[in-house]
A and B are shown apart, each in its own frame.
Chain A
């Protein structure tokens, strides 16, 4: 009976994830997956555990569940959509912490009580402890970096990569010692401590802009620990769920690295932030500014516009204004589309969520390849708070750190207007020759204020 429930639960998890492949069915998919999770939890509460006695400890189960339900739903309801990456990383860290607790307790039982203690079983426990710890401390540091805490950028020590390798070897040596001393629990404390520190140092050298990749990687780590814990408790649903997450995290990590044209190793070593300023090319020519009324008139009398939104739009919370302008233009028969770069925002697909929050129809969003085919028939491309993803250096300057990254070729449209706070370079720290092209004009200011000016200008035109 309970095995059947576990089977249904496992099926729901897989099918639920499968349904997430299209926007129409994704909500149902998430429902189905959570239903599967619920079933699995209920079945775990009541099924007969083979070979061991069970006790009625409902108090210890119900209280944490009620507490976590309250906390979890509260956070989920009140979090800003722009802070989504931070939240995912915190939740992920908690998942890792949970696995750390579990493997720690199991190891404790082996040392002090009589538990199962085959060597393979203990190796799995140690692995789960190690990976879970990295996921835990790594995720919290990733959160701190994303949220812009200053101290989080200063944790890197000199020779960090060598230190990391040494720490890793120390963990292996300690594990070996643990086995030779026939399960001396002090070594578990040491392994835990070193693993937690390793998690911090693992993330420390990686630049803030690369955090999404790291979060996705840590997410797959948590998945792997979940799967390992599944082996420990010989529970197939846990194993399956864990592997699904591990696979999801791995694929997303690879996709993100591809979108930035960098190898995973390159991201982990953190080469981007250190080598970023090497391009010494002098920028020539002047930057042209466009006035409020010129910009509004150009947009108003064009026939099609592509908006390229970036994180600048999101931090300024200007998505709703963007949508407002889109509506004004559409009533005047201007076709408005949004070109979404795979790494626009702070996570892949983050920009899509932010625009969806502002009620922008997702059929108006076009992806990189389609956008690049459309630019040469576009009247105006409007770049809002994006920079590196529209940098032509990525195509023609082999010395640029961005070289090879797939980008949006906005300059192929007849006119480009770039909304930007200042001439400061973007995350990669490189200059953008796009701003100096003949057909580009700058529109300076905070994205929200700029769009507000533009919107009121457009309203006077349409009246």
Chain B
């Protein structure tokens, strides 16, 4: 328990950020209508690929000779960015179908 309290006190601003982002997230998403839920799911999924930033930071921090870290880290980058690229492209493809047709 103490650890938890210490953590909260040490990272006050961070906790604020956390709380408000959660509220922001719920607010933004709950406005999306059902008809767009599938693209939203794949779009949001693409955003979860943001873990690749961690992979990049990790790779940049690692000595070039340390292959035990570099290889799994670039695997992380590889699979994470498949999620990013694939997710954004397929969402774009889906949303492209929602063009409003001109009335004849």
Which residues of A come within 8 Å of B, CB atoms?
13-14, 16-18, 20-24, 26-27, 29-31, 33-34, 37, 40-41, 44-45, 49, 52-57, 60-61, 63-65, 67-69, 71-73, 75-77, 79, 81, 84, 87-88, 91-92, 94-95, 97-99, 101-102, 104-106, 108-109, 119-120, 123, 215-216, 219, 222-223, 225-226, 229-233, 235-252, 255, 340, 342, 345, 347-350, 352-353, 356-357, 359, 361-363, 365, 367
Contacts and interface: CB of A to CB of B under 8 A. Distances in A.
Contacts of B3: 119-120, 123
A306 B93 CA distance: 28
Nearest to B4: A120
11 contacts: A20-B43, A26-B95, A61-B74, A72-B83, A102-B54, A226-B49, A248-B25, A255-B37, A348-B34, A357-B97, A367-B34
Contacts of A45: 56, 60
B84 A349 contact: no
Nearest to B97: A356
A273 to B, nearest CB: 23
A123 B4 CA distance: 11
Contacts of B64: 55-57
Interface string B1-45: 001101100000010011001101110111111111111111111
A180 to B, nearest CB: 15
Contacts of B88: 30, 33-34, 37
A443 B38 CA distance: 30
A17 B43 contact: yes
Given A17-B29, A223-B48, A363-B100, A44 B53 contact: yes
Interface residues of B, number: 81
B50 A73 contact: no
Contact of B50 (A69, A87, A226, A232): A226
Given A49-B57, A245-B48, A350-B38, A76 B93 contact: yes
B44 A219 contact: yes
B62 A68 contact: no
Contacts of A104: 72
Which one of B17, B24, B29 has the greatest number of beta carbons of chain A within 10 Å? B29
Nearest to A45: B56
Nearest to A330: B104
Contacts of A236: 17
Contact of A61 (B22, B47, B56): B56
Contacts of A37: 46-47, 49-50, 84, 88
List the 5 shortest-distance A-B pairs measured between CB atoms, nearest first.
Answer: A247-B25, A72-B85, A98-B80, A349-B37, A72-B86
A20 B39 CA distance: 9
Given A41-B53, A91-B46, A251-B29, A60 B73 contact: yes
A106 B30 CA distance: 35
A244 B36 CA distance: 17
Nearest to A216: B41
B36 A21 contact: yes
B26 A247 contact: yes
A61 to B, nearest CB: 6
A95 B35 contact: no
Nearest to A215: B41
B81 A64 contact: yes
Nearest to A29: B43
Which one of B51, B52, B76, B84 has the greatest number of beta carbons of chain A within 10 Å? B51
Given A30-B95, A87-B90, A222-B48, A101 B72 contact: yes
Contacts of A229: 51, 54
A269 B59 CA distance: 41
Interface in B63-104: 63-64, 68-70, 72-98, 100-101
Given A54-B61, A244-B47, A353 B29 contact: no
B64 to A, nearest CB: 6
A77 B89 CA distance: 8
Contact of B81 (A40, A53, A68, A75): A68
Contacts of A22: 33, 36
B98 to A, nearest CB: 5
B21 A244 contact: yes
Contacts of A347: 37-38, 41
Given A64-B74, A73-B86, A105-B58, 9 more contacts: A33-B43, A64-B81, A71-B82, A87-B42, A91-B86, A104-B72, A105-B69, A233-B54, A240-B21
B59 A61 contact: yes
A71 B41 CA distance: 20
B100 A20 contact: no
A29 to B, nearest CB: 8
Contacts of A356: 94, 97-98
A91 B39 contact: no
A260 to B, nearest CB: 13
A61 B29 contact: no
A73 B91 CA distance: 11
Contacts of B72: 101, 104-105
Contacts of A97: 76, 79
B82 A91 contact: yes
